[in-house]
Amino acid sequence: MNILQITSSLRGAESESTRVAASIVAKLVAANPGALVSTRDLARDPHPVLDEAALGALFTPADSRTPEQAARVALDDALIAQVQAADVVVIGAPMYNFGIPVQLKSWFDAIARAGVTFRYTETGPEGLLKNKKVFVATARGGIYPVEADPQVPFVRMLLNFLGMTDHTFVYSAAQAMGPEASANGRAEADATVAALA
């Protein structure tokens, strides 16, 4: 089993989403001896944002790219190859201003490539990153009921679009609501991880 852990929190060792994601990875490894774990820390090693130069490189035929364009596309290629090789993807996704960190959005931008990780068909888009299990560990300062959660539907849509339709979200809520509420949020996340099959 190949496990890819994506970290996107800016809080380093104090990150709750990273802590929960790491506990998911630890459980997977314990249940699958010999599993290989690859990590990508998008906060410590941020991927370049999608800008005009990157877009130009991506839309230039490979044999016509300048060395700079080829190098920029190669950065995205590396992320795509990493997720293609993974059987399980574990994403740490803290909630920043009701969304995901820009570093994680840049990762999604990099791995979403027409003809490679998705394609357009006569019946609509088809995700090509299939047969992968995804766990998303999300930490947030408040408590958001499912019907009013602004972050998870966006992440779920991105995953589904790319073909990663088997996903489980683990919530560590109330992290900015005081020590007791924060502890309860962590305990609930830990109980969810413990119950994962």
Domain ranges within the chain, ordered by starting residue: 2-194
CB contact burial 38-55 (16+ within 10 A = b; e otherwise): eebbbbeeebeebeeebe
In this predicted structure, what is the pLDDT of residue 79? 98
CA distance 6 to 38: 9
The CATH code of the domain at 2-194 is 3.40.50.360
**Residues contributing to the annotated binding site:** 9, 15-17, 95-98
**Residues contributing to the annotated binding site for FMN:** 9, 15-17, 95-98
Q: The whole model's pTM is what?
A: 0.95
In this predicted structure, what is the pLDDT of residue 197? 76
CA distance 115 to 181: 45
Task: Return the SS3 of 39.
Answer: strand
Span 10-51, pLDDT tens digits? 999 999 999 999 999 999 999 999 999 999 999 999 999 999
Span 141-160, pLDDT tens digits? 999 988 899 999 999 999 99
